[in-house]
Amino acid sequence: MICASSSLSQSIPRLARTAILTASLASLPFFAGAVSSLAQEAMQPEETLSISQKKAVKAASFMVSSANPIASQIGYEVLNKGGSAIDAAVAVQIALNLVEPQSSGIGGGAFMLYWDATAKKLTSFDGREKAPMAATPDYWLGEDGKPVKWFDAVVGGRSVGVPGTLKLLETVHQRYGKQPWADLLEPTRALATGGFQVSPRLAGLIAKSAGKRKLDLFETTRKYFFDRFEKPLKAGHLLRNPAFADTLALLQKDGAKAFYEGPIARDIVAAVKTDINPGILTLEDLKAYQVIERSSPCAAYRGHEICGMGPPSSGGLTVGQILGMLSHFDLRALGPGAEAEHLFLEAAKLAYADRGLYMADQDFVKMPEGLLDPFYLKSRAGLIDSEKSMGKATAGSPPWAQSALRAPDTQLERPGTSHFSIIDGQGNIVSMTTTIETGFGSRVMTGGFLLNNELTDFSRAPEKDGKPIANRVEGGKRPRSSMAPTIVLKDGEPVLAIGSPGGSRIINYVARAIINIIDFDMDPQQALNQPHIVNRNGATDIEKDSKATDLIPALEAKGHKIKVRDLNSGLHAIAIIDGLYVGGADPRREGVVLGY
């Protein structure tokens, strides 16, 4: 095999000696080099037909699970050389920017949960994008005073928020990193220069995002993702990104300062001034950006503490609410099936109702302190009828709430995100969900990377019935998210790191996987292989072409309105079981688990 990096090439025999088994290390030929037929079979596009059941991977020393085999391999190399989980996270995220550009990158934002094994401490880092300081609540109102349509808002510079991912990476690396920053960026810089082969998933998404989805609208983006005949790039195409290599060289030399104050900052500000939907992002907005370290909200569940990301993400609170309500039902006795699914869907409705009314950037909106209050969740669980659906749920009144002052927000994020989980040789853990919002973000590209469309995660309507919406646009505010990077503790020690992309369905995906592991004794891969049934306080979505469709009659008999659709998660999980790391990668995407 010919690889773009000699160190990566040399690692293959060592990997073969370890018990690292996912779809196959045959996927690694998506480096510049020959692509085997086995790799082609394992690495299918994002559609449901690409699902291939995988087996759990076990390791004793360290592990990384990410959405792309190249990124996982680069992270493995860092860990194998004694790097920390944070070192590996830096290298994995930078690699994902290159090989999975539609989902995340330095032009976007991220949330990270971090377990410090020495201090026995869990904390979270908020690298969410921010609205420009000049933004006002009427930001998404058209000339007629009505909110613009969602996709009309996406394309162009106006949807771009101040990126936070790179500042997050540098912040945590300065605190917990062991290997030099420049070294962690080098494998991807070399790969951007030498080229990598476009994976089937990336090729399929490029093809789907042309035309009406406007990936080919702006010249810079069109020239990168389309060939000289303006046709979408095909799987196996050797794609070089010299602009991104130059960007990484600047970051190697000057760190994040080049991005937030230097030449990259100037290029970003120029890029958002598009002819279509020009943005208002300024150099001052970039320079002022700060990562915020926050405490993690935790909810009790079956003797575990389910700890996640707090606002501006709704993920931790809403996952916690779902599980907190379900703790009052014996799911294990019911077993997987329609009865347990019904209870899950009803709990999800109630949690999403609270999410829509209360949750937003806690630095701008006073949050109720009682959203995870055990007595409140018990009262909410009492609203669940095991025999019939409640229909649409309404928000409750948790302790210290001010619901009368707000109107509910129905804005739902679109899926365009990635997640990775990492454990290093010292037991430090990273669970990080990272995004540029919808697939390919704003379609605006500069410096070889895409810029986010995160400002469309705000409510486009600032108020309803004269009441302000918590998630409305405000200058310097961070839009509400559903990202739910999670670390589960038992007796004060971590037992699981998990998270997923999937827009506003992330909460369902993560909560369901945790139930599969804790209640139904599945290993992480078995849990991730299960078909999806989700509810966001509306119709119940069931994953098409899956065994879950067998439950439709029973759920409809309880009053659920069913929609069958493609539900593409990207769950990546590592559990700690009997002293071993046991990892899983979502069969709906092309990721792998590697460890030693």
For 107-129, how does the pLDDT look when each residue is reduced to its tens digit (9 = 90+)?
999 999 999 999 999 999 999 99
Quote the pLDDT of residue 35. 25
Quote the pLDDT of residue 20. 35
Pairing label, strands 580-585, 562-565: unpaired
If residue 293 lies in a helix (H) or strand (E), which one and from where to where?
Answer: strand 292-294
What is the Cα–Cα distance from 71 to 66, expressed in whole angstroms? Answer: 7
Residue 3 confidence (pLDDT) above 90? no
Residue type, 209: S
pLDDT digits (tens, 9 = 90+) for 396-409: 999 876 655 566 66
Residue 260 confidence (pLDDT) above 90? yes
Half-sphere exposure of 16 (CA within 13 A, CB side): 7
- Say which residue, 423 or 32, is predicted with more confidence: 423
Residue 77 confidence (pLDDT) above 90? yes
3-class SS of residue 30: helix
Burial, 143: exposed, middle or buried (Cβ in 10 Å; 0-12, 13-18, 19+)? exposed
Give the chain's mean pLDDT. 90
pLDDT digits (tens, 9 = 90+) for 156-184: 999 999 999 999 999 999 999 999 999 99
Tokens 């195409």 found at:
237
- Strands (E) located in 503-555: 533-535, 540-543
* 228: Cβ contacts below 8 Å, ≥ 6 apart: none
Residue 92 confidence (pLDDT) above 60? yes
Read off the pLDDT band of 556 (50, 70, 90).
very high
CB 46 within 8 A of CB 201: yes
Closest CA to 415 of 433, 394, 403, 397: 433
Query: Measured at the alpha carbon of residue 112, what is the angle toward residues 154 and 292, in degrees to the nearest 5?
Result: 85
| Distances, alpha carbon 539 to alpha carbons 93, 391, 414, in Å | 35, 9, 17
Average pLDDT estimate for 418-432: 98
Quote the pLDDT of residue 574. 98
Output DSSP code: residue 434: E
Q: What percent of the chain has pLDDT over 70?
A: 89
Q: Calculate the dihedral angle through the C-alpha atoms of 416, 64, 547, 204, rounding to the nearest 10 degrees.
A: 40
The pTM of the full predicted model, rounded to 2 decimals, is 0.91
Residue 14 confidence (pLDDT) above 80? no
Closest CA to 533 of 558, 550, 520, 557: 550
Residue 52 confidence (pLDDT) above 90? no
Q: Which two tokens stand for residue 536?
A: 């966001």
Quote the pLDDT of residue 368. 81
Closest CA to 433 of 373, 357, 506: 506
What is the Cα–Cα distance from 104 to 97, expressed in whole angstroms? Answer: 6
pLDDT digits (tens, 9 = 90+) for 477-505: 999 999 999 999 999 999 999 999 999 99
Closest CA to 301 of 513, 113, 125: 513
What is the Cα–Cα distance from 447 to 97, expressed in whole angstroms? Answer: 12
Crossing angle of helices 315-326 and 374-381, rounded to 10°: 60
Residue 410 confidence (pLDDT) above 70? no
- Give domain limits for the chain: 6-292+414-468
Pairing label, strands 449-450, 109-116: unpaired
Residue of 165, 221, 247, 417 marked active site = 417
Residue 142 confidence (pLDDT) above 70? yes
Burial, 330: exposed, middle or buried (Cβ in 10 Å; 0-12, 13-18, 19+)? exposed
CB 358 within 8 A of CB 406: yes
Half-sphere exposure of 252 (CA within 13 A, CB side): 18
3-class SS of residue 269: helix
Burial, 290: exposed, middle or buried (Cβ in 10 Å; 0-12, 13-18, 19+)? exposed
Q: How many CB atoms lie within 10 A of CB 258?
A: 18
Read off the pLDDT band of 22 (50, 70, 90).
very low
Output DSSP code: residue 486: E
What is the Cα–Cα distance from 242 to 592, expressed in whole angstroms? Answer: 27
Read off the pLDDT band of 411 (50, 70, 90).
low
Which of 22-31, 82-91, 229-238 is least confident? 22-31
What is the Cα–Cα distance from 197 to 294, expressed in whole angstroms? Answer: 39
Which ranges in 360-499 belong to alpha helices (H)? 374-381
Quote the pLDDT of residue 367. 80
Which of 32-36, 389-393, 542-546 is least confident? 32-36
Tokens 């769950």 found at:
571
pLDDT digits (tens, 9 = 90+) for 291-301: 999 999 999 99
The residue count of the chain comes to 596
pLDDT digits (tens, 9 = 90+) for 311-335: 999 999 999 999 999 999 999 999 9
What is the Cα–Cα distance from 412 to 108, expressed in whole angstroms? Answer: 18
Which of 232-236, 413-417, 490-494 is least confident? 413-417
Q: Does residue 274 carry a catalytic annotation?
A: no
